[in-house]
């Protein structure tokens, strides 16, 4: 088999890898939080409840303290329940399929970002870019750290949001990351990107980091990057407009989310979203996931992670030190734009994550 023919098989190889690795999980039972979100939750048993998923938190879980605002995720749960009559198989099929889709999207995105068209100085040649993208996507496909969100069905919101997130990013890059497509194609790709971002937001809040990463990409790789324009204000005037739809969607989502969260439920209890703990908890989580990324041992879908109450706690201080160290390395190697971009993506996404 020659190299050109093998290249065409790479996406299929990645998809097969995912299904081979996760095939034995198809009949795993519901566990932990799955129970109060899926089998014991009467709201997902009727498809006519789907519109109210977007306005009523009580549909998320039978446990008031565990309710969250993820209406697209709940829609996926309802469709899986309808397809399988409450059996676990459709839920696992969708989770694995989402992971496979994310692996494929990452491969396509890496292939674009690693190329010399994207980064003339440090980009790879056409021969090597596919192999680098394949290795990156395969690492993501097989890494044990991804197994929680694939196997743990109540965490399906993670691969679901990631699928829409990566789709939105990829479509954005096809418009602004190379030769601009014809106007009609450009418009429908952008509208599909906006739609994908909206669906990602309503799958899991972590998707709100997409506009940040699009701006980071534009600053580093855009045709009029910050290095070329010379000043922030000039860059904002020239290129800030294309990010406005994503920022607007973010604002709309936050307003809707806060409006839903301030509704009283059960007549006595009011659920409110809180953001204070991000100042401490997220820093420690960055350290936790960095460690698991390099040493994926002791993984636990129901880990009892200690809550942080102060930035002066040892593990929070250590996490801050590690993040500052990473920042120093990025500053030192800032000329390698690909390294800076991919290194920033990890902590930026975790910045709005809590365990």
**Residue pLDDT, tens place only, 81-92:** 999 888 999 999
Higher pLDDT, 156 or 5: 156
Say whether pLDDT at 65 is over 80.
Answer: no
The DSSP call for residue 307 is: P
Separation of alpha carbons 260 and 201, rounded Å: 14
Average pLDDT score, the chain: 80
The pLDDT tens digits for 329-339 are 777 766 777 77
Least confident of 17-21, 156-160, 236-240: 236-240
Say whether pLDDT at 283 is over 70.
Answer: no
Name the maximum alpha-carbon separation found in the chain. 68
Separation of alpha carbons 173 and 108, rounded Å: 11
Strands (E), 2-43: none
For 115, the 3-state DSSP assignment is: strand
Please give the average per-residue pLDDT across 108-132, as a whole number: 73
Please give the average per-residue pLDDT across 165-188, as a whole number: 87
From residue 297, alpha-carbon distances to 138, 260, 290 in Å are 19, 38, 12
Higher pLDDT, 122 or 265: 122
With bands split at pLDDT 50, 70 and 90, how would you rate the model's confidence at 157? very high
Say whether pLDDT at 268 is over 50.
Answer: no
With bands split at pLDDT 50, 70 and 90, how would you rate the model's confidence at 272? very low
**What pLDDT does 273 receive?**
41
Say whether pLDDT at 49 is over 60.
Answer: yes
User: Cβ distance 221 to 337 under 8 Å?
Assistant: yes
pTM to 2 decimals? Answer: 0.85
Say whether pLDDT at 77 is over 60.
Answer: yes
Separation of alpha carbons 122 and 337, rounded Å: 8
Separation of alpha carbons 43 and 314, rounded Å: 43
Q: How is the chain split into domains, by residue range?
A: 3-270, 278-350
Separation of alpha carbons 33 and 25, rounded Å: 17
User: Which has the closest alpha carbon to 57: 40, 76, 37?
Assistant: 37
How many other C-beta atoms are found inside a 10 Å radius of the C-beta of residue 38?
A: 23
Separation of alpha carbons 201 and 107, rounded Å: 22
Give the pair of three-digit tokens for residue 33. Answer: 């939080």
Say whether pLDDT at 198 is over 90.
Answer: yes
Say whether pLDDT at 132 is over 90.
Answer: no
Separation of alpha carbons 116 and 104, rounded Å: 21
Say whether pLDDT at 323 is over 50.
Answer: yes
């Amino acid at each position: 088999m020659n190299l050109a023919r093998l290249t065409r098989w790479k996406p299929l190889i990645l998809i097969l890898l995912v299904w081979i690795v996760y095939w034995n999980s198809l009949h795993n039972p519901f566990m932990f939080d799955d129970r109060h979100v899926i089998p014991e939750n009467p709201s997902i048993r009727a498809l006519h409840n789907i519109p109210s998923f977007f306005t009523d938190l009580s549909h998320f879980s039978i446990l008031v303290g565990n309710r969250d605002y993820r209406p697209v995720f709940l829609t996926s749960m309802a469709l899986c329940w309808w397809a399988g009559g409450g059996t676990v198989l459709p839920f696992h099929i969708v989770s694995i399929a989402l992971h496979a889709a994310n692996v494929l999207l990452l491969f396509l995105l890496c292939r674009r970002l690693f190329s010399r068209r994207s980064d003339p100085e440090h980009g790879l040649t056409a021969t090597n870019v596919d192999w680098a993208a394949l290795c990156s996507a395969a690492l993501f496909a097989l890494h044990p750290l991804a197994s929680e969100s694939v196997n743990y069905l109540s965490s399906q919101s993670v691969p679901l949001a990631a699928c829409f997130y990566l789709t939105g990013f990829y479509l954005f890059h096809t418009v602004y990351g190379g030769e601009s497509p014809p106007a009609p194609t450009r418009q429908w790709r952008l509208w599909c990107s906006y739609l994908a971002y909206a669906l990602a937001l309503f799958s899991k809040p972590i998707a709100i980091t997409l506009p940040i990463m699009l701006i980071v990409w534009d600053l580093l790789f855009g045709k009029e990057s910050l290095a070329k324009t010379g000043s922030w204000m000039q860059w904002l005037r020239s290129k800030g407009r294309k990010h406005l739809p994503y920022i607007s969607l973010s604002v709309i989502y936050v307003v809707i989310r806060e409006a839903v969260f301030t509704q009283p439920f059960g007549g006595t209890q009011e659920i409110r979203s809180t953001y204070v703990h991000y100042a401490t908890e997220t820093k420690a989580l960055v350290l936790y996931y960095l460690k698991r990324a390099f040493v994926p041992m002791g993984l636990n879908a129901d880990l009892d992670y200690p809550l942080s109450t102060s930035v002066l706690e040892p593990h929070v201080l250590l996490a801050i030190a590690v993040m500052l160290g990473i920042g120093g390395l990025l500053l030192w190697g800032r000329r390698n734009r690909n390294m800076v971009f991919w290194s920033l993506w990890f902590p930026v996404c975790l910045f709005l994550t809590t365990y």
